[in-house]
Every structure is written in C-alpha cells, then in structure tokens.
Copies of this chain bind each other. A is one copy, B any other.
Amino acid sequence: MTLIEPEVVDPAYAERLDTADPLARFRDEFVVDDPELIYLDGNSLGRLPKATAERLRRFATEGWGGELVRGWEQWLTLPLEVGDRLAASVLGAQRGEVAISDSTTVNLYKLAAAALAAQPGRRVVVTDRDNFPTDRYVLEGVAAAAGGEVRWVEGDPVEGSQPHDVASVLDDDVALVSLSLVNYRSAAIADLRAITAAAHENGSLILWDLSHAAGVVPIHLEAGGVDLAVGCTYKYLNAGPGAPAFLYVRTALQERLRNPIQGWFGQRDQFDMGQGYDPTPGIGQWLTGTPTIIALEAIDEGLRLIVEAGLDRIRSKATALGDHAIALHDAWLAPLGFSLGSPVNDERRGAHVAIRRVDAAQLSAGLTAQGVITDYRAPDSIRFGLSPLTTSFADVHEGLRRLRDLAR
C-alpha cells in the first residue's frame, strides 16, 4: 500500500491536520452542546469553558450567596490581580501595568482623554478609517472635547495601515496615535514596533486596541515600548458576553497621566472615604466604580486555559487554521467570484479570515440558517473566526464547503 497525500480540498486533509493538532484536546474543556453546530465566530464571542461554568456557579452560591459582603476582602484586589496575570501571560507587560476595568470603550475614553490632557499643545489624534467603530467614535469625541480633531490614516483595507502610512500624517499637533493591533474586519496585524517607534519619534503617545489580538497573537507591550493599551476579554479570552475589558498604562506614564473619571476605586485609602480625590499610585488609579465581580471570575478562569495551552501553540494553530481557510478559498471560492479580505501572509494576519463577495450579508445569513456561524461585516465581508482552542480544521473545511455550495 502506498500512502497517498490527500489534496487540500479532501476532508481527509483536514482530518489529518486535526489528528496532528496538539491543541485538539482543548475542545473538550469547553461546553459544546450541539456537536453539529460549526462555530466560526469565536472572534466575536468565545465559547464557555466548562471550568468557567462551574466557577460561576460556585461564585454565585458560595461567594456572593455565602460570603456576602465579606467576599470583598478577596474581590477588592481581583481587578489588579487578574490584570497582573493577563499582563504576564498574554500582554508582555509588567506587574502593576494592567487592570481589568469597565468596557473597552470606557477604557479607550479614559486613556485617550488622559493622553490629550497631558499634552495641552497637541490636539490631534491619529487613527485609521478602518479602525473599529467604537475606537473611531470615542477618539472623535475626545479630540473634539479637547478642541482638536481626528486625523485619518487611509490604509489599505486588506493589508492595514503601514508604518509609512501613519508616519506620513504625523506632525507637532499629534498628541496620540491610536490603532488596533489586529483589524476587526481584515485581521491585518499592524506593525506594533514600527508604528510605536514612529509615534515616539514624533513626540506622540501611542494607544493600541488589542481586542482582536489578546489571547491569540503574541503581544509584547513592554518590549515594543507601548505607552497605553486596551482590549476586550470576550473574544479569544472566552470570558463571556460583555465581560469587562483591560487597560494597560506603562509604568513610566502612570504618574504623568490622570484618569478623567475620578472614581472611588481609584482613590488612595478608598475606605477612609476622605475629602478630595487623591489617586492611588500605580495602575489602580485607572479603576473607576465598583467592578462586576462575577465577570472578573470568568476572565480569571478563562485565562487558565490560555496559559495551559501556551500562546505559541495557540498562535501556530491560528495561522494553520487561517492558511487552511485561505487554501480552500483559493480552490473553491475564488472561482465563484470571491476574493480574500485578509492578508495572505500569515505573519501579518490575526486569527480570523475575511472572505469577500458583494452578497456577503445574505451568504452569512444563509450559513447561519445551516448551522454555520460566521459574521458579516459591511460592506462585503464574511468573517471566519478561528479560535485555536475550539475550532477544528474539520470545522473550517465544512464551513467553507457549505459556503461554496450556497454560493454557486
């Protein structure tokens, strides 16, 4: 007998990749109620880890229900403790540089407003037209409130904004450059080091939104010299719908910048309840109101799986899943008039793949009706989210096969 190398479009090809996948066993760590469902939207909402379901149950009955207000002895420190764990395992940041707090939107607001307030001579914020909507809206508001404006980078919609695109719009008016590390539509990875360096060379601060990167793309905030960052926890960190977000402030900036939302969780000696806001030293200043503890528990628990799987292995599988999706696109879909909305080069691509055709909205809805969950992003992209801990190569095969059948 001769072993025959299966072709990429052969289901046996995906099967072989799944057999060789060192992360395949992690799927069993998640609740998978409907084994027929092909879930390719973990980049919008990650699946529920079984351990998280149990931890939420225990938290409710034993924590809230059992400890009652005494639970705050443990809960009070969770935003910074979970932040430290995220810093070390996912963000490449130091202890005391990351907190869990509020939503990505509110954190963007706090950090961007602080960055502008610290540089009164500069009133322009640079971002790109393809940045995620909440980033664009928040930055527009913050810039306008400071008497300034947003200056737009018009990067390539598939390959993303390049360092020279950004550098070419910088001048002495620019207080802040704010971009997403992984573009929400195309998955293009921005050149964090080069763009950060360009911002610094211009005397501007930089704020990265890591929402589509955290937990699936290795991030090196400290090594990259990044000033500020935010990101969400409900995508590849699997913390549940609307779980609170994280924020990062480089140690050296923690004294210089000031949270515009002066809440009691940012107050030194909070329970003295004294007169006059006096921010606590360090990252704690960036907390605002009472944190939602049940959601913090979910973030903490989800993080354990990331640490156990290892970000390097997660990243390897993400790129392999993406390469497989692109190979199937090329074989099946390109002949049907589709085009790729994501970078082909997997070093410059996050963990989802966008496939474009003018009828993408209807096709994505048609896939949903067949139990293949993707999402549509205007004007013409279907996003296939590839979550290395729960997505199999067989899922990718079957998802794209059904799109082919639907589209021809």
Contacts of A137 in B (CB 8 A): 262-264, 266-267, 277
Judging by beta carbons under 8 Å apart, are B34 and A47 in contact?
no
Per-residue CB proximity of A370-404 to B under 8 Å, as 1/0? Answer: 00010101100000000000000000000000000
Give the residue name and chain of the B residue nearest to A117 (CB).
Answer: B145
> Which of A14-22, A102-110, A190-198, A348-356 is near enough to bind chain B?
A102-110
A-B contact pairs, 28 of them (CB 8 A): A31-B66, A33-B61, A45-B69, A48-B60, A56-B56, A102-B289, A104-B290, A105-B289, A106-B288, A106-B289, A109-B260, A109-B263, A133-B267, A133-B270, A133-B273, A134-B265, A137-B264, A137-B267, A141-B277, A145-B260, A240-B292, A241-B290, A241-B292, A242-B290, A271-B378, A273-B377, A273-B378, A295-B295
**A213 is an interface residue with CB less than 8 A from chain B:** no
Minimum CB–CB distance for A259 against chain B, Å: 8
**A53 is an interface residue with CB less than 8 A from chain B:** yes
Judging by beta carbons under 8 Å apart, are B104 and A289 in contact?
yes
**A121 is an interface residue with CB less than 8 A from chain B:** no
Cβ < 8 Å to B, chain A residues 294-309: 294-295, 298
The one of B136, B266, B292 that contacts A292, using a Cβ cutoff of 8 Å: B292
Per-residue CB proximity of A56-77 to B under 8 Å, as 1/0? Answer: 1100110011101111100100
**A41 is an interface residue with CB less than 8 A from chain B:** yes
Interface residues of A (CB under 8 A from B): 31, 33-34, 37, 39, 41, 44-45, 47-48, 52-53, 56-57, 60-61, 64-66, 68-72, 75, 102-106, 109, 129, 132-134, 136-138, 140-141, 145, 232, 234, 240-245, 260-267, 270-277, 288-295, 298, 368, 373, 375, 377-378
A69-B52 contact in complex given A105-B261, A241-B293, A292-B242, C-beta closer than 8 Å: no
A105 to B53, CA, bound (A): 29
Judging by beta carbons under 8 Å apart, are B292 and A261 in contact?
no
Judging by beta carbons under 8 Å apart, are A263 and B134 in contact?
yes
Judging by beta carbons under 8 Å apart, are A289 and B103 in contact?
yes
Minimum CB–CB distance for A1 against chain B, Å: 42
Give the residue name and chain of the B residue nearest to A54 (CB).
Answer: B60
A100 to B267, CA, bound (A): 25
Minimum CB–CB distance for A2 against chain B, Å: 43
Judging by beta carbons under 8 Å apart, are A48 and B69 in contact?
no
Contacts of A33 in B (CB 8 A): 61, 65-66
The one of B53, B132, B232, B241 that contacts A72, using a Cβ cutoff of 8 Å: B241
Contacts of A136 in B (CB 8 A): 275, 277
Minimum CB–CB distance for A51 against chain B, Å: 12
A136 to B291, CA, bound (A): 19
Judging by beta carbons under 8 Å apart, are B261 and A109 in contact?
yes
A326 to B361, CA, bound (A): 65
The one of B34, B141, B289 that contacts A245, using a Cβ cutoff of 8 Å: B289
Judging by beta carbons under 8 Å apart, are B65 and A288 in contact?
no
A292-B289 contact in complex given A69-B44, A378-B273, C-beta closer than 8 Å: no
Judging by beta carbons under 8 Å apart, are A265 and B69 in contact?
no
Minimum CB–CB distance for A176 against chain B, Å: 16
Minimum CB–CB distance for A377 against chain B, Å: 7
